[in-house]
Amino acid sequence: MNASRLRITRDALVTGVALVALLAWDFAGWDLAFVRAYGNASGFAWRDAWLTSSVLHQGGRWLAWLLLALMLTDAIRPMLAGPPRRTRWYWLAMTLACAMLVPAIKRATLSSCPWDLAEFGGIAAYVPHWQWGSSDGGPGHCFPSGHAVAAFAFFAGYFGWRHSRPQLARWWLAVVCLVGIAFGWAQLARGAHYPSHTLWSAWLCWTGCVLAAHLPRVRAAWRPATATRDPGRLQA
């Protein structure tokens, strides 16, 4: 198996295993158990705390904008030896695509945030997000986690650098995962999201990057085979 096929197989395996784990989490019903560790009938004590609200929530947004600015600068004038400029632009675009994907999905979902539940002083009843189209009586539009994307959209950087600078790419991936976990914990403690909201955001961003990494190669490999089997093209 050549390096390209090995990479495709590995990425597909990670994506598939993560999806199975996510579905297992959903059907185990662990979301409420984790949220109840931080909230009660009076609400969520960490909702407006300095660490969760100012540092990890508001500060996380500014960090994402800063990283986007650095990626844009690097695409215009590379700061480190590595992938060609065209590759840097491609993965910058993919970062932006991931950042827009989750908010687009949120607009179509009816799941409300934990702090909207009657159990925690709100008005909604708990309805699992996988019961698509079922209203919980609250404002909805909370699934998946938009704030977690401020970290997980940068999975794109790992894919952009892993060919030319694999060690740097692995460090990038580790930092993105750690920051994403921190952002997810902050939103959990504030009552803004369930753990699954963060996990689904991570999976969506990762899967989008996997598709962006391999679809061009798959299409390039498919075209010659298609052309060979096309009688019209053979005759031409």
DSSP symbols for 208-225: HHHHHHHHHHHHHHHHHH
230 pLDDT band, cuts 50/70/90, is very low
Q: Is the backbone peptide bond immediately before 195 cis, with ω within 30 degrees of 0?
A: no
Beta strands in the chain (DSSP E): 39-40, 43-44
Cβ-based neighbour number of residue 22 at 10 Å: 15
**For 13-17, 192-196, 211-215, which range has the lowest pLDDT when averaged over its residues?**
211-215
Please say if the pLDDT value at position 33 is more than 70. yes
Question: What average pLDDT does this structure show over 6-22?
Answer: 94
Type of residue numbered 206? W
pLDDT of residue 1: 59
Per the CB < 8 A criterion, the answer to whether 189 and 44 are in contact is yes
Q: Is the pTM for the entire model greater than 0.85?
A: yes
CA distances from residue 59 to 48, 56, 63, 175, 195 in whole angstroms, order as listed:
13, 5, 6, 16, 20
Distance CA(49)–CA(55), nearest Å, equals 9
Tokens representing residue 45 in the block: 């004590």
Distance CA(114)–CA(188), nearest Å, equals 8
**Residues 71-114 pLDDT 10s:** 999 999 999 999 999 999 999 999 999 999 999 999 999 999 99
Percentage of the chain surpassing pLDDT 70? Answer: 91
Per the CB < 8 A criterion, the answer to whether 159 and 212 are in contact is yes
Is 45 exposed, middle or buried, given 0-12, 13-18 or 19+ CB atoms closer than 10 A? middle
Q: Which residue has the higher pLDDT, 217 or 31?
A: 31
Tokens representing residue 51 in the block: 């660490």
Contacts of 151 (CB under 8 A, 6+ apart): 60, 64, 176, 179, 180, 182, 183
If DSSP codes are grouped into helix, strand and coil, which group holds residue 96?
helix
235 pLDDT band, cuts 50/70/90, is very low
